[in-house]
Amino acid sequence: MSAVFWTMSRAAGLLAYALLTTSVVFGLVLSTGLLDGRVSRARSLDVHRAVSTAGLGLLAWHALALLGDRHVAFGPLALAVPFVSSYRPLAVAAGIVAGYGVALVYASFSLRKVIGPRAFRWVHYASFAAYGLATAHAIFAGSDTARGPVWGLYLGSLVVVGSLVALRVAYAVRRARARAPSPAAPGPRY
């Protein structure tokens, strides 16, 4: 029976990672306006929220299924507190911290009016750290990392998210330059 829980956890983990990637992608698409004119921002935001909700649910399933696994024997503390697990402690700790980061970013959807747009944006920057930690967790704690399709998921995710981050940074630099006052024309020399 233990193999069933291990398999459920692996499947939920892979799906949660795919949805985390999709959520980050939609967040970057919203912040860059990349699909404006093709897909309404409201629709993109709805997809972003729905994918985030599903991803968080699968993340919980990923962790809870491990409670039934008798081979590695994860207990509640090992699933909630970084560095308690004896199974690949650094990689599991990265996953735990990533999970808390994802939950924090998700909670900010409901708290946006309370915390304001600036804090909301800063909390959302934490999604990049959560994504990086989740990727490290997946690669170094995942038992399926060596399989071609799984490695393809991780590599594809990194390429897409990395490209969109680069585009986002380029847009931010361009906006900052456009807002900066132009240097004054040199005056006459005497």
Rounded to an integer, what is the distance from CA 189 to the centroid of its chain?
A: 56
**Per-residue pLDDT reduced to its tens digit, 40-92:** 888 888 999 999 999 999 999 999 999 988 777 789 999 999 999 999 999 99
pLDDT of residue 143: 82
**113 DSSP 8-state letter:** H
Q: Which string of b and e fits 141-151 if b means at least 16 CB within 10 Å?
A: bbeeeeeeebe
Domain with 55 in it: 2-171
- Flag whether 185 is in a domain: no
- Flag whether 183 is in a domain: no
C-alpha span between 16 and 174 (Å, rounded): 34
Yes or no: say if 181 and 144 are a contact pair by the CB < 8 Å rule: no
Q: Which residue has the tokens 């990049």?
A: 128
Yes or no: say if 133 and 98 are a contact pair by the CB < 8 Å rule: yes
Collapsing DSSP to helix, strand or coil, 181 comes out as coil
- Flag whether 184 is in a domain: no
**Per-residue pLDDT reduced to its tens digit, 124-175:** 999 999 999 999 999 999 888 888 899 999 999 999 999 999 999 998 898 8
- Flag whether 21 is in a domain: yes
- Flag whether 189 is in a domain: no
**84 DSSP 8-state letter:** -
Q: What is the mean pLDDT of the chain?
A: 91
- Flag whether 180 is in a domain: no
Q: In this model, does residue 1 exceed pLDDT 60?
A: no
- Flag whether 163 is in a domain: yes
C-alpha span between 123 and 127 (Å, rounded): 7
Q: In this model, does residue 35 exceed pLDDT 70?
A: yes
Mean pLDDT in residue range 168-185 = 82
Q: Cα angle vertex 51, ends 18, 109, to 5°?
A: 130
Number of compact structural domains in the chain:
1
- Flag whether 74 is in a domain: yes
C-alpha span between 176 and 95 (Å, rounded): 35
Q: Cα angle vertex 101, ends 149, 27, to 5°?
A: 65
pLDDT interval class at 186 (50, 70, 90):
low
Dihedral sign (CA 100, 102, 103, 109):
positive
pLDDT interval class at 182 (50, 70, 90):
low
76 token code pair? 């509640």
